[in-house]
Amino acid sequence: MSKKVAIFDSSLRDGAQAEGISFSVEDKLKLLELLDNHGIDYIEAGNPGSNPKDLEFFERARAIRLKHARLAAFGSTRRRDIAVEKDSNVQSLLLADTPVIVIFGKSWDFHVTDIIGATLEENLAMIRETVAFFKARGKEVVFDAEHFFDGYKNNTDYAVRTLQAAIEGGADVLVLCDTNGGSFPSEVGKIIARVSGLFTVPLGIHAHNDCGMAVAVSIAAVENGARHVQGTYIGFGERCGNANLSTIIANLGVKRDYECLPPDQYPNIVHVARHVAAISNVALNEREPFIGNSAFAHKGGMHIDGVNKASHSFEHIEPERVGGQRRFLMSEVSGRRMILDKIWEVDPSITKDDPVTDRIVKRLKEMEHEGYQFEGAESSFELIVRKQLGKYRSFFDLEHFRIIGEQPAKGEYGSSAIIKVKVDGKDEITAAEGDGPVHALDRALRKALDTFYPELANVHLTDYKVRVINGKDATAAKVRVLLQSTDGEVVWTTVGVSTDIIEASWLALVDSIEYKLLKLEEVSSSS
C-alpha cells in the first residue's frame, strides 16, 4: 500500500469554529500561503454559503497561485425535497470556484430520521445527487460521512450504504468522521480496516479531540488503511478541538516514514506551528508534543547529564528534525554544570574555576532568594550572565512612565500608559491604550522604541503569568511575573519580581525587549 498520506488542513473552516478564534480575511489569506508553502495537500477554507467573509476570501484567493495545495470549499448535501440545482447552499459552493468541494452528509440513521427529518432513501439520494452535481462540473469531491462511527455501530448496513451512495455519485475520497470525538483508536482502526476492503477510492479520517484521542484515532486509521487525514495544524477547533496535524505529521512522517510533506518541510513544523499560532492569536500549549516550548526541555541535573551523554535515551527524536531546539532549564536541581553551560553559550573561554563563575553563581542565589526563578526564563538568566561578563549594554533608559486606569471602562480599552525613554541621548515620549495596565505599558514602550528600533515591530507577547510568592504578606506580598514573547520564529521568556505587579511586569518587559535587541545585534555583527 502507498505510504503517501494526503494532509487536509481545516484550520480556516473547522478551526474557525473554535472558541476565541476570529479570522479576518487577511488572516485567512496569510494562513493559506503559509500552509501552501509548507506542502499541505488540501486547505479547506470555509463555507461560502454561511457568511460574506468567506465569499470575499474565495474571491481574493483566486488571485493567489498556490504552489502545492488544492483549495477546498465546504458545504452540505442538498436539503431534502429540493432539487440539487435549486439548492442555494449548493449554488454558493459553485461561486467559491475552488478545484475541490467537500460535501458532508449524514451517515447515522438516527440523524437522518430525527434531526433532518428525511427518509433513509431520501438521504441516500441527497448524497448521490449532490456529489454527482459537482463531479459533472469538473470538481474533485471529498465526501465527509458525518457521525460515521456512531452510525456504523448503530446500523452498519446503512452507514456503509451512505458511502456507496457517494461512490455512485463519483466521490474521489470518502472521509469517515468521528464527529463527537467519542471513539477509541482501537475501534476506529477495526472499522477502517473493514471498510477499506469495500471500496477502491481512498479513505480518510476526520477526528475530534473530545476524549483527548484525536491524534491516536487518526494514526490508528492510517495504520489500518486510511490515506487522507483531516485536522487543524495546531489542533484548535470546536469544543475540545480537532486532530492536531503538526503532531500527526511529525509522528507519521518523521517516525514512521509516511509521505505527509515534501522532505525538506519536516524541519519547518515548529516554525509553521508558531506562525499559525501568531496569526490566529492563540498561545501554543507549552507541553504540546514536538512544537511546544517544553517539548525538548530538560531540568534535573542527572537527567541533563544523561542527555549530554546520550540524548537518544531521553529524547524520542532529535529536536532539529521538526525544527525544535533542546533546552536545559535553570533551577535549583539543574546543578553547577548547567550554569557553566549557560555561561559558555555567552563566553566559551570561561572555566569553572574562573572568579566570574563564582560571582554568577552567587548572584543567581541572591536573586532566587529575592523570589526570582529562572526555570523557563533562561533569557533573563542570559542577561544576568552578560552583565557579569561585561557583555551587556542597555539599549534604552526609562525616564518615567505613568499608568492611568478607568473603572468601569467606557471604551474599548480600560487603561492608558504614558512613557518617556531615552535612546543615545534622544528623548521619546508616547502614550498608548490597552486592555489592562501591563498591556498599555507594553504597547506604549514598543511605540516609543519603534522610532529607534523598527525591528521590534514583529515582536509581541504571547503569554503573561503572575504568581504570588509569599501570600502570607497579603497585599504586601512579592509577585513573580513571567512574560513569553515571540517574533514569529523564536519564543523566549523573561521574569521580573517586585512587591508591585506593575514594576515586576516592567522588569520582565525590559528584559524581553533587550534580549531581542541583543540577539539582533549579534546577527548583524556576524553578517
pLDDT digits (tens, 9 = 90+) for 473-486: 555 678 999 998 98
Cell numbers 480496516: residue: 193
Specify the domain boundaries for CATH 3.30.160.340 within the chain.
459-527
- What CATH class has 6-280? alpha beta
Residue range 459-527, CATH number: 3.30.160.340
Residues 6+ away with beta carbon under 8 Å from 248:
7, 215, 218, 219, 229, 231, 260
User: What are the beta bridge partners of residue 468?
Assistant: 479
What residues have CB less than 8 Å from 22, skipping those under 6 apart? 16
What does the radius of gyration of the chain's CA atoms come to, in whole angstroms?
27
Mean pLDDT by 10 residues, the chain (527 residues): 93 95 93 97 88 87 95 96 94 94 98 96 98 98 98 98 98 98 98 96 98 98 98 97 98 97 96 91 89 81 63 85 80 60 83 85 84 80 89 91 75 83 93 89 92 89 84 70 87 91 94 93 79
What burial class does residue 88 get, using C-beta atoms within 10 Å of its C-beta: 0-12 exposed, 13-18 middle, 19+ buried?
Answer: exposed
Identify the three-state secondary structure at position 150: helix
Residues 463 and 30: their CA atoms lie apart, in Å, by 22
| Range(s) within the chain of domains with CATH label 3.20.20.70 | 6-280
Q: How far apart are CA 480 and CA 471, in angstroms?
A: 12
Assigned C-alpha cell, 176: 469517515
| Residue 284: predicted pLDDT | 86
d(CA 135, CA 503): 63
* 399 and 420 Cβ atoms separated by less than 8 Å: yes
- 287-327: pLDDT as tens digits: 999 999 889 877 755 556 666 677 777 789 999 999 988 77
At how many degrees (to 10) do helices 355-370 and 335-346 cross? 110
Contact 479, 498 (CB under 8 A): yes
| C-alpha span between 240 and 59 (Å, rounded) | 31
What's the pLDDT score for residue 363?
Answer: 86
Q: Which pTM value belongs to this model?
A: 0.76
Q: What is the residue type of 310? A: A
Q: What pLDDT does residue 333 have?
A: 47
C-alpha separations of 412 from 406, 426, 433 in Å = 11, 32, 9
